[in-house]
Chain A
Amino acid sequence: MANYNTMEIMICVASRELEDGATVGVGTGAPCAAAMLAQKAHSPNLVIMFEAGGVSPLLPEMPISVGDSRTFYKAVMASSMCDIMDTCSRGLVDYTFLGGAQIDMYGNLNSTIIGEDYRKPKVRFPGSGGANDFASFCWRTMVMTLQDERRFVQKVDFVTTPGWLTGEDSRAKSGLPAGTGPYKIITNMGIMDFEPRSKRMRVISINPGYSFKDVQDKCGFELLKAPNIAQTKPPTEEELCILREEVDPYRYVIGR
């Protein structure tokens, strides 16, 4: 079995979710690496979109910013924030990858503040950026994050970005476009989806070397179990080779 680190397995697992011909809105870092890997490994016609306006670039290297010149290098179009988000709002974008400081059992994300007092927060984080927009409009939202009980919490301090809100049909009732919502949560320990009725997070696959208990121990709320929990396929030699040599040779992301 190949040797790989935490970031590498998350990126490889995430990349397998992106089928050829799909559209995906990504940011920098791990999500971008996953999209690049998918494009090089199995989905050459994956359309990568960056919220600042880059459409389907042939990325020469990992971008540092979702608006830097790499995001529209040999792209089909250098457009605008409104154009990209309008395209998501019209229903043309299949996937997006997000992260955050905190996530709850319904996949709601916090990237705004830690603390009780909004006016004088203990920690101020960036805010939504385009995350709230992407999660509102893209059909399937995926999250890549480390499994950690400080991240997976009973209640997020601030709902920056909508998941399934308070579960069941609360998301649809809120006014968010029908048929959208959190799809999969990819961590270093496993893969979660959401139980269809309650919309609570449930484990569907465990990464090599871990057990359900390990995942639960690193989660601040009770996880549901899928009827048949799979064993995550570890990164293949081919995936690792592309990831290390073509996607991220300077180890900006996989070296973290």
Chain B
Amino acid sequence: MLTTRQMVETFKQIGITHVVGLPDNSTAALFHELAADPDIYLITVTREGEAFATAAGLWMGGQHPLVLIQNTGLLESGDALRGTLTRMRIPVITLVSYRGYKSLPNPNDASSRTWRNPNSMGEDASPSNLTPDDLARREMDSVAVLLEPTLRAWNIPYEIVSDNSELEKIIFAQQRATQETRPTAIVIAETIR
């Protein structure tokens, strides 16, 4: 289980001053918790691209922000991430909620994730050889199919977190961001309660 209290404590442990983002169903409880927290300033944006630029400005001004958005918003705001945190080499972490994670086959093993239906070449479909049918199937959320290949294509290192016992990955993600002077990501694969 992922809980708001433990997540906020983890944020404070790594010195987060601001959270910039846009809520979704799985992070709604966390946004409520942050809105009431006296130590972390929450900025809710109208569209996710603003979050990356605002976080970049906060960092330049000496603050320690993180970005909190859904995977749909990540895909929407790709150039904002590229043109701010990535190109400016700003060590800010982004928490991305994994809408549709449970609709994926083999959700716990991205490397072996294949679809039962073969593609037109007679091979099993996988993220490396997606077909239009793969992304249009009703029972599989296409944003979930595309999230991890997109993070890899955009050179954003990430870890998946599904339980409070894994929250130290957030600490490691921030450490890596700082050591390598680059943005990193944590993908949240469970509803935060």
Real binding pair: no
| Chain B residues engaging chain A, CB cutoff 8 angstroms | none
Chain A interface residues (CB < 8 Å from chain B) = none
